[in-house]
Chain A
């Protein structure tokens, strides 16, 4: 998965890809590309899920976000 795509966007894209693949009008060439992208995204999502650690920040008195 490209590093700039978030988990949520990846999940959204997966849903999109699944729907496109299920559409009979999408060509075979396109489908093969989509499928490849989908499999990669899904594997990346799974890795993210397996390795995720909660990130916690707090707002300070100047309303700035700080890691804690």
Chain B
């Protein structure tokens, strides 16, 4: 560089160079914390990471520090994950930590911790990325060592619980240097064969044997698997990254098989459930239709000609009863009035007087006699109740 630069220009340039280098992004650094200072106001952490010979400036901003699940302290061995950047003001490079976790003994566990953090940041273990394990798989892929007892456990459980399934074994080495590559290939192979679920499992063994399942290639193969994966690698206590990346984790091979398939008894129960539901739905439907039918039939019946005739004939009957009643009422009235008149007439009947002992006297002309139409010597007729007498007038005395 021939031209003269200011310090700021140089630092900016170095910062730019550091940012450009992909190898300096998301690096995992193991070291011991020293010179830790926590800014209480801002929540940022400033410290130095060091090993036996070197030191590295480190900062962890409050947003990342808030996610820490431990209290960092001076002297603590940690793995910090972050980007290497240039702090231009001081002209120092430093790691800007995105996450950090304490480590135990041994470099292997440190590497594992680092890988775990890296994969965590990539979302490999994210619960939101987990696929649902199907309830009733048709085809189950089993990634395992073919001679492992684990395989026999898985097969016998599936045989017992869900024999209508097909099991496809995707064999792999689980020991030796080529184990990770072999497991990865077996997973990819199984994923290409239309399985509904894949079980990854291995027999027991020391935690050395587990290491292949902590390999990034294996973990990524599980993560990228399109088929849901149940992992039963770690066996209860030693969980592997493969287990974390799987969609479901099982403590033992048998448990994995039990998760993968329903019990046939359950299927029979489900089948019975369908039968009952179909039966009762059908019964309900039939009774609903039968009620509707009865209602329609009633409506129809009520409009039938027969019903109408019945109604008319009933009406006719009512009318005729009415007529009869009014006629007889009238007749009774007539009868009463007739008998009244008859009584009156009867009272006026002259014969009635005769009955009481009186007599009617008529002259020869047949008229009732008066002082003017009778004379001595006339023949007169005397009518009594039961006789007619003829007599001659002897004398007439007008009174």
Show the binding face of A for B, using Cβ within 8 Å.
6-8, 11, 14-15, 17-18, 21-22, 24, 28, 31, 35, 38-39, 42, 45-46, 48-49, 52-59, 63, 65, 68
Residues of chain B within 8 A of A18, CB atoms compared:
274, 277-278, 281
Whether the pair A38, B274 counts as a contact (CB closer than 8 A) is yes
A42 touching B164 by the CB < 8 A rule?
Answer: no
From known contacts A18-B277, A22-B281, A53-B163, infer whether A6 and B138 are also in contact, taking CB-CB under 8 Å. yes
- Residues from chain A with a CB closer than 8 A to the CB of B189 are 59, 63
Q: Which residue of B lies closest to A59 (CB)?
A: B170
- A32–B170 alpha-carbon span in the complex (Å): 46
Which residues of the partner chain A approach B158 to less than 8 Å between Cβ atoms?
54
Of all chain A residues, the one with the shortest Cβ separation from B281 is: A21
> CA of A22 to CA of B270 in the docked complex: distance in angstroms?
16
**Bound state CA distance, A7 and B267, in angstroms?**
11
Chain A to chain B contacts (Cβ below 8 Å), 7 pairs: A7-B164, A14-B271, A21-B282, A42-B271, A54-B163, A58-B168, A59-B186
Q: When chains A and B are docked, how far (Å) is the Cα of A54 from the Cα of B168?
A: 11
Query: A6 contacts which chain B residues (CB < 8 A)?
Result: 138
In contact, B167 and A55 (Cβ under 8 angstroms): yes
- Whether A56 contacts B164 by the Cβ 8 Å rule is no
Do residues A28 and B285 form an inter-chain contact, with CB atoms below 8 A? Answer: yes
> Taking the complex as formed, is B28 at the interface, i.e. its CB lies under 8 A from any CB of chain A?
no
- Complex: A54 Cα to B154 Cα, angstroms: 12
Listed residue (B189, B268, B285) with the most chain A CB atoms within 10 angstroms of its CB: B285
> Within 8 Å of chain A (Cβ to Cβ): is B129?
no
Q: Cβ of A59: which chain B residues have Cβ within 8 Å of it?
A: 168-171, 186, 189-190, 193
Q: How far is the CA of A53 from the CA of B158 in the complex (A)?
A: 10
Sorting the interface of chain B by its residue count into under 10, 10 to 19, 20 to 34 or 35 or more gives: 35 or more
- Whether a CB of chain A sits under 8 angstroms from the CB of B165 is yes
Q: Which residues of A contact B155 (CB under 8 A)?
A: 54, 56
Residues of B within 8 A of A8 (CB): 136, 138
- Quick one: given A28-B285, A35-B278, A42-B274, are A65 and B163 in contact (CB under 8 Å)? no
Chain A residues near B324 (CB, 8 Å)? Answer: none
- Main SS of chain B's interface residues? helix
- Chain B residue nearest to A63 in the complex (CB): B189
Q: How far is the CA of A59 from the CA of B138 in the complex (A)?
A: 17
Q: Is the CB of B167 within 8 A of A14?
A: no
Q: With A28-B285, A49-B164, A63-B192 as known contacts, state yes or no: A42 contacts B275, CB within 8 Å.
A: yes
Residues of B within 8 A of A49 (CB): 164, 264, 267-268, 271
Given contacts A42-B275, A65-B193, are A31 and B285 in contact (CB under 8 A)? yes
B282 adjacent to A15 (CB under 8 Å): no
- Say yes or no: A39 contacts B278, CB within 8 Å: yes
| 7 additional contacts (CB under 8 A) given A46-B271, A59-B193, A63-B192 | A7-B138, A22-B281, A31-B285, A42-B274, A54-B155, A54-B158, A56-B167
* Cα(A15)–Cα(B286), bound, Å: 20
Check if B159 is an interface residue, CB within 8 A of chain A: yes
Q: How far is the CB of A9 from chain B (nearest CB, A)?
A: 9
Bound complex: CA of A6 vs CA of B162, how far in Å?
A: 14
Which of chain B's residues have a CB closer than 8 A to the CB of A54?
Answer: 155, 158-159, 163, 165-167
Residues of A within 8 A of B167 (CB): 54-57
Q: Considering the complex of A and B, which 8 residue pairs feature the smallest CB-CB distances, nearest first?
A: A21-B281, A52-B163, A58-B169, A52-B164, A54-B159, A22-B281, A54-B163, A14-B274
A residues within 8 A CB of B281?
Answer: 18, 21-22, 31
Question: Is B204 engaged at the interface, CB distance under 8 Å to the other chain?
Answer: no
Given the complex, which residues of A lie within 8 Å of B186, measured CB to CB? 59
